[in-house]
Structure 1
């Protein structure tokens, strides 16, 4: 409610299948499809294992050199960590994320990859 137009708020509602802001889910789903269509081919991100405890490895692929930001958010959209914030060459990368380092409790978290104009949001679950 605090940041109704925030991208992470919109994406988290879509990924969770919830409609916390009492908006029409179909409208949000169309917005998500539009965003997905805008992501250029070759940009990929995933984490394994998922669910995880206490660490997971976030892997991503860049088809071209770009300024990359990789962040983790909690279910309320609060930033937990900035894992990457730099220019990177095309290629595959892996980053380990440890819940213990940030003293996190069990729950759903989101990780985002922003590379140039491309923005991808995925969810992961921490089970203690």
Structure 2
């Protein structure tokens, strides 16, 4: 062990979920969804982790993955916490890619891929 390493209490990440979180959520959030605070106050049953999530999102938006990094939690746990806050109204979520840009199977459309390729070629040529 290094002296510079900060010791922290180890506990399962799912403890961050708290106890009474209400009804199960649908699980529709994507790990790249952009989250932002809605301004609605937190309920009594929200945990300190919920509070910290909202605090991080007051001044702007972050993706679920970025939020997980700031919280030091797995993305899967952060997704569950975020889905509860979205369901309760404390957070608003924006999907990472509008349906108009995606093909029927959820992948980017050919037009979007061509635009990305053209942009990359422009960068390489510069």
Instruction: Calculate the TM-score normalised by the size of structure 2.
Output: 0.29
TM-score (norm 1): 0.29
Of structures 1 and 2, the one scoring higher in RCO (CA 8 A, sep 6+) is 2
Q: Could you say which structure has the higher strand fraction? A: 1
Give the structure with the larger helix fraction: 2
